[in-house]
Chain A
Amino acid sequence: MTFRTRLLIAFALTVIVAVAFVGAIVSTTTTRAFGRLDEQRASALAAQFHQEYLRRQREIAQHVKDIADAESTRDMVIALSHPDADASTYVDAAQPLAAAHNLDFLELVSATGSIVSSAQWSARFLYQEDWVKQRDDWNSQEPFLKREELPTDTALALVAVRVSIVGDSKLYVIGGEALDRDFLSSFVLPAGMRALLFREPQSIVGAAGPVPQTAALAPLIDDLRKQRREVTRTIQWTADAASAETFHAIPLIGPSDELMGAFLVGSSRAALVGLERFLLRVEILVATGGILLALLVAFWTTARITRPVEALAAGARAVAAGDWRTQVDVHASGEIGALAAAFNQMTRDLLEQRDRLVQAERVAAWRELARRLAHELKNPLFPLQITVENLQRARAAHPAEFDEVFRESTATLLAELGKLRGIVGRFSDFAKMPQPQLETVDLNNLVRESLKLFEAQMQATGVTLHLDLAAGLRAIQADPGQLGRALQNLALNAIDAMPNGGALTIRTAAHEDGVRLEVSDTGQGLTEEECDRLFTPYYTTKTHGTGLGLAIVQSVISDHGGKIGVRSEPGKGATFLIDLA
């Protein structure tokens, strides 16, 4: 990934993170504000509920008391107190009384607990309401919640009981109002809020009628049943988050401390979700615009920043490719400009140093060549000098034997001159190394053929040959003559490195995209410095030789597009590694 790309991504990420951060803050703040507003509205509605509940309690208590205190009711008490009283006369008495006092429920119950008249269920006359006889202080009791059975339903009622007493006779007046749709309709609800009434066991009504899909409210009801205190829960009606509603539930507790229902204040989250979605859309728009703007700015900025950097990188690549004359044309100020100037200075310094190094190496090479030539030539020259001096002394001191000495001396001279010619020939060969003639070669066969020449020598010196040749090795393109001589040169060096015998191991193997040839010996090994200089022409660790063998091997391998290396430690032998394509 380019620096410019990274810079662009960094710009874009910065914009996205910034927008997301701002968006998150706005969303969180908005959500909290809405939450607070919801809480305030729910609290206001809850307070409204409590006030309305108390108002109705007072109203119901007053209405029931009015009925109980009415003269007609007292007349009824008196009439019913007679032993032969006919209660059937009053069987329809409750309905008009209930209607006149705006009560949904009204039952007139005799002192024995028998219903004389029921407004809500007229057919229940003479049924027993024994619970009403269980206390005597009804006139001081506040209205309470009661589950009122109706012909086809069960209603939740706020009920008051008052007792009409005349002398020793009494009549219970049980009146109340239903907590139902009408009750809910009395609340003033802000937009987005609604009030529901839950009645045990599972009836839920709103101002508009029964609420469908009440199963979604089951967790809230369960919480109410367990906690029996005001609870708040968010209900999601459909998969759409906008359908969610936060419900604040106020439990309605009966006289026996049982949960009889609950007042549910629902606050729709549609507005909040709508606002959140709007904010999200704005964030996406801002982020997208920001990213595009950032890309434009970043493109322009990075172009200014990365152009000199890319020029420097190109210059560095050129230097790496060997063009040490490379100079970058950067007109920048600051660090980039300084870097470009330093780069140009560096290449100039490198060029100068390389020239000096080449010159020094040339000098060193010539010195080494001179040293080698001197060394190589000195060895045959010395016998030549001795032989010539012997000839001179023999002619002067022993003329009779001169012919004999002359014949022997000329033979020696010819031998030494032959050596000199050989030395000159090898130097000449190194200078005239030909280009390889490539053909398809089976490396394993080449190894076997090349090493046949050394079987007698290895046997004589106690060297054991181990061939570890990979089966199925693919053929390579090589000059078999040059590659064979290079292999023979390595084998000869290995045999020379083991004057007291040892093991010569030749190994071939597939390697990366080509093949590898390893030549290992168990000789005395090489030092690290020797390893570094081993392929330098005219360098040798042997007491004889020109020091050109490994240089020639390296030249052959290089001409084949391969590379050669050595791995060795003193006392642990040496291994030459040749990789060929």
Chain B
Amino acid sequence: MRAAPASLDPATPDAAPLTSLVFETLVRVDEAGAPQPCLALSWQHDATAKRWQFNLRPGTKLHDGSGLTAATVVAALEAALPGVTISATAAAGNVDAVIIRANHPMPDLLLDLAHNGWLDTGPFRQTAFEPGQRAEFAANDDYWGGRPFLDAINVQFGRGLRDQLADLELGKADVVEAGPADLHRASSHGRTIWSSAAVSLVALAFNPAPDARPREALALSIDRAAMHAVLLQKQGEPTAALLPQWISGYAFLFPTAQDLPRARTLANDLPPAARALTLTYDPAMRAARPLAERVAVNARDAGINVQVSPQNPHADVRLVEVRLASLDPEHALAALAAALGLPAPAGSGSAAALYESERKLLEDFRAVPLFQLPVLYAASSRVRVYTGPPVTRLGDWRFENLWLSGTAP
């Protein structure tokens, strides 16, 4: 993988794909975005959604061999859910249960619980970890869903996409991350491509400057369709919104079409110094260099000179990729705004209010969304999927569903 996490703490963003191997939560979200039982086998809430009771899955064991108890869950949740009261109780049938109470309704509590209160009950146990280098995992024989087919997983950190593809082709790896440009090559020779939903926002983030015209001119000059068709191999979708369409439902309202005449008009009104921008990118980011160079080419057509250089801390514009942090639109928007250096969006209670918040975030072009991309993986031909998707919509690994050909599933 490209990331090089320093720890397996689920709060560490770089550790996200690995988290699902080791850790689990009370609830998980399925492919449709609906909450599904995980460590909590069932749950109930009152009419006001102020009191929730989660009945724990019996027989679940932590990786240290101890049984999962309500007290353990309460300890994990208390740090993650401030402002609520969490207590352990016993439900019918002598099943441990966790009570969560608050003074306000908690309609989105299930989504919150899908990303909080991690417990090491996952299908794999961590057996080795070298920060930034590698990690090893072994099958959890006591996993409540049954022992995984794979005996062990070795993960190499900090490998570029090209190197990962080479590892795959050389048989040194069974599953690698893939970039859109590598799809054609990666999918040859019987290899399989796994894709998440469009959960990764590619955008331009501008340094603060009072004059929005250069930003607007640059935003209007960008031909997203050509980039999407060629550089991204039609993966994901062009967007001018922060949240993907499949979450917000209104992303289509933000126009993505190139408007070169308008961009030229804006650029012509700028002083010469304002028509020169520097654009930087992280070379580890998928398709970063060609995307940045294409932005520069489009900008040139509008009369804006964009100099592209990687890892330039003084650049006027950054090409960034930000992973969706939550399936909750409001939380996801706030996280995206924070990642892009935008002000925190106003609280919302409806789709219309959320749209207005997002529109306000984007109206001065401090951030220019370009694409919503899926997370892509390529798997060797000997990797088989027994049941269920190997990667969730959010890109989490479900490697307990995998087995290798030549071994009995």
Instruction: Decide yes or no: A123 and B294 within 8 Å by CB, A92-B181, A151-B308, A152-B307 being known contacts.
Output: yes
Question: Are A88 and B229 in contact, with the CB atoms below 8 A?
Answer: yes
Chain A 100-136 interface residues, beta-carbon cutoff 8 Å to B? 121-127
Instruction: Decide yes or no: A151 and B296 within 8 Å by CB, A89-B184, A92-B181, A123-B290 being known contacts.
Output: yes
The interface residues of chain B lying within 8 Å CB-to-CB of A123 are 290, 293-294, 296-297
The interface residues of chain B lying within 8 Å CB-to-CB of A92 are 181
Task: Tell me the bound Cα distance from A439 to B230 in angstroms.
Answer: 130
Instruction: Decide yes or no: A122 and B308 within 8 Å by CB, A89-B184, A92-B181 being known contacts.
Output: no
B334 nearest CB across to chain A (Å): 34
Partner of A91, one of B223, B231, B234, B308: B231
Partner of A121, one of B181, B223, B297: B297
Chain B 286-335 interface residues, beta-carbon cutoff 8 Å to A? 290, 293-294, 296-297, 307-308
Task: Tell me the bound Cα distance from A519 to B343 in angstroms.
Answer: 125
Residue of B with least CB distance to A89: B184
The interface centre, meaning the residue of A87, A91, A121 with most chain B CB atoms within 10 A of its CB, is A91
Task: Tell me the bound Cα distance from A124 to B299 in angstroms.
Answer: 12
Decide if the interface of chain A is mainly helix, strand, loop or mixed. loop
Chain A 202-239 interface residues, beta-carbon cutoff 8 Å to B? none
The interface residues of chain A lying within 8 Å CB-to-CB of B184 are 89
Instruction: Decide yes or no: A87 and B230 within 8 Å by CB, A123-B297, A124-B297, A151-B296 being known contacts.
Output: yes
Residue of B with least CB distance to A88: B230
> B253 within 8 Å of A by Cβ?
no
The interface centre, meaning the residue of A92, A124, A151 with most chain B CB atoms within 10 A of its CB, is A151
A120 nearest CB across to chain B (Å): 12
The interface residues of chain B lying within 8 Å CB-to-CB of A124 are 297
Partner of B293, one of A88, A126, A151: A151
Task: Tell me the bound Cα distance from A152 to B300 in angstroms.
Answer: 11
> B128 within 8 Å of A by Cβ?
no
> B226 within 8 Å of A by Cβ?
yes
The interface centre, meaning the residue of A88, A92, A125, A152 with most chain B CB atoms within 10 A of its CB, is A88
Number of interface residues of A (CB under 8 A): 14
B259 nearest CB across to chain A (Å): 17
Chain B 159-195 interface residues, beta-carbon cutoff 8 Å to A? 181, 184
Partner of A125, one of B226, B233, B296, B308: B226
Task: Tell me the bound Cα distance from A88 to B181 in angstroms.
Answer: 9
The interface centre, meaning the residue of A89, A123, A125, A152 with most chain B CB atoms within 10 A of its CB, is A123
Residue of B with least CB distance to A92: B181
Residue of A with least CB distance to B229: A88
Task: Tell me the bound Cα distance from A122 to B294 in angstroms.
Answer: 8
Question: Are A125 and B293 in contact, with the CB atoms below 8 A?
Answer: no
Could you mark each residue 114-130 of chain B with 1 if its beta carbon is under 8 Å from any beta carbon of chain A, else 0?
A: 00000000000000000
Residue of A with least CB distance to B293: A123
Chain A 329-351 interface residues, beta-carbon cutoff 8 Å to B? none
The interface residues of chain A lying within 8 Å CB-to-CB of B297 are 121, 123-124, 127, 151
The interface residues of chain A lying within 8 Å CB-to-CB of B294 are 123, 125
Partner of A88, one of B223, B233, B296, B307: B233
Task: Tell me the bound Cα distance from A411 to B208 in angstroms.
Answer: 153
Residue of A with least CB distance to B225: A126
Task: Tell me the bound Cα distance from A26 to B198 in angstroms.
Answer: 86
Question: Are B226 and A126 in contact, with the CB atoms below 8 A?
Answer: yes
The interface residues of chain A lying within 8 Å CB-to-CB of B290 are 122-123
- 24 sample A-B contacts, Cβ–Cβ < 8 Å, listed by A number: A87-B230, A88-B229, A88-B231, A88-B233, A89-B184, A91-B230, A92-B181, A121-B293, A121-B297, A122-B290, A122-B293, A123-B290, A123-B296, A123-B297, A124-B297, A125-B226, A125-B230, A125-B294, A126-B226, A126-B229, A126-B230, A151-B293, A151-B296, A151-B308
Query: Using a CB–CB distance below 8 Å, which chain B residues touch chain A?
Result: 181, 184, 223, 226, 229-231, 233-234, 290, 293-294, 296-297, 307-308
Top 8 closest pairs, chain A to chain B, by CB: A123-B293, A88-B230, A123-B294, A123-B297, A126-B226, A91-B230, A125-B230, A88-B229
